[in-house]
Chains A and B, each alone.
Chain A
């Protein structure tokens, strides 16, 4: 499988990338880690006239402190996200997600900006960003805007990013809650059939401030607020699991794909909730 011909441009500065996108955005794809783009090119599912390589742009990689938390640069590779001290402090859910993302060599190259901007419904980071209330920072020649992750994902591979926009960072408000990322996949590193990002503060038998966002179940990150509310209201979260799982099965959209029927996904939506709750309590142990 070989990609169709395209013109290659390497942007060495952010300004250069934005001006290329302003001129060619409609016909261009952005090359960051390339771990999703390159297969799309090879299979000719994407056929851009131009590929804009942003890997050499300075200042787009790494994690910095901002007023209410951290800003994770778009070119930060998955392996760095997993090892970063600021991520561990303010957005530990990201580090929990990394072992689930593809394979060792792919985590060496893949970037958080690519994973967030692509809008793959089976991807872990978009669900983390929605659960954690992250803001995605989109830059274009016209200026910079921020959009809540919850408003960014419109449909599979369709996002609020315009053709002239470059996702430059994701801002995560400091979140001291415990985090769990669980998923059902045929094999370690495969695409999830269903996955769940859960944030909560375990306290005795209770879970407070619960946030649940499913991924791979439906067409985009799928919050489960009713199930979260049932868990958060219970004196014993584990005793409320059956009721919460039932609520999640009702409120989470489940799709049928060649790898799993909607019924299998509905079953997994409930089953994964139990695993996530167990992991949250496990993580809270001294």
Chain B
């Protein structure tokens, strides 16, 4: 059976960047679209919309996840942090400074996803450059600026961001 009729929207209550949000969403709406279109949080980029590129990475209930592979309805009762919230909290400050110093971004489209993934990986204690490359393999940079990205992250992971 294929649905052709519109489906009734669902009311959700979620916490985004520390603020409680009540919203009415369509069941098929992705969390990525909800964050961008309904909440105006356009720091979350949408690249491939099927989980390959990692640009839409957000922190969902404490762990990074691709927001194109989550439904907005799944955010009900969940806690979400986007690049806007993580920037405001200062959690990414040393990574962002290292990216600036090393020019570790070109067009910037992948940067939000890369920063959130890198912050989590560093918090988990990964510092070996090869392991960092593996951990970042799910975040594509179509400018192909990987060398600078990995160097900037490796410096922060090694605790020497200003070298």
A residues neighboring B (CB under 8 Å): 1-8, 10, 26-27, 31, 34-35, 38-39, 41-43, 47, 49, 51, 53, 55, 79, 99, 102-106, 108-109, 187-189
Contacts and interface: CB of A to CB of B under 8 A. Distances in A.
Given A6-B7, A39-B50, A39-B51, A104 B2 contact: no
B54 A105 contact: yes
Interface residues of B, number: 41
Given A4-B28, A39-B69, A42-B50, A104 B135 contact: yes
B160 interface: no
B50 A103 contact: no
Given A103-B138, A104-B64, A106-B66, A5 B71 contact: no
Nearest to B118: A104
Contacts of B60: 109
A108 B64 contact: yes
B65 A7 contact: no
Contact of B7 (A5, A42, A53): A5
Given A4-B2, A35-B51, A103 B28 contact: no
**Top 6 closest pairs, chain A to chain B, by CB:** A103-B138, A8-B27, A39-B50, A38-B69, A108-B63, A188-B137
A104 to B, nearest CB: 5
B151 interface: no
B54 A49 contact: no
Contacts of B6: 5
19 contacts: A2-B30, A2-B49, A5-B7, A8-B7, A8-B10, A31-B71, A34-B69, A35-B69, A41-B28, A42-B68, A49-B1, A49-B2, A79-B63, A102-B138, A103-B137, A104-B120, A104-B121, A106-B69, A189-B137
Interface in B8-35: 8, 10, 26-28, 30, 33
B46 to A, nearest CB: 10
A79 B78 CA distance: 19
Given A10-B76, A108-B65, 19 more contacts: A4-B2, A6-B7, A6-B28, A7-B3, A8-B27, A10-B73, A34-B69, A34-B70, A34-B71, A39-B69, A42-B68, A51-B27, A53-B71, A53-B73, A103-B137, A104-B117, A104-B135, A106-B66, A189-B137
Given A5-B6, A189-B137, A38 B50 contact: yes
Nearest to A188: B137
Contacts of A55: 74
B57 interface: yes
Given A55-B74, A105-B57, A7 B7 contact: yes
Nearest to B49: A1
A34 B65 CA distance: 11
Contacts of B1: 26-27, 49
B65 A109 contact: yes
Contacts of A47: 2
Contacts of A49: 1-3
B28 A5 contact: yes
Contacts of B135: 104
A193 B65 CA distance: 25
Contacts of A42: 30, 49-50, 68
A182 B117 CA distance: 25
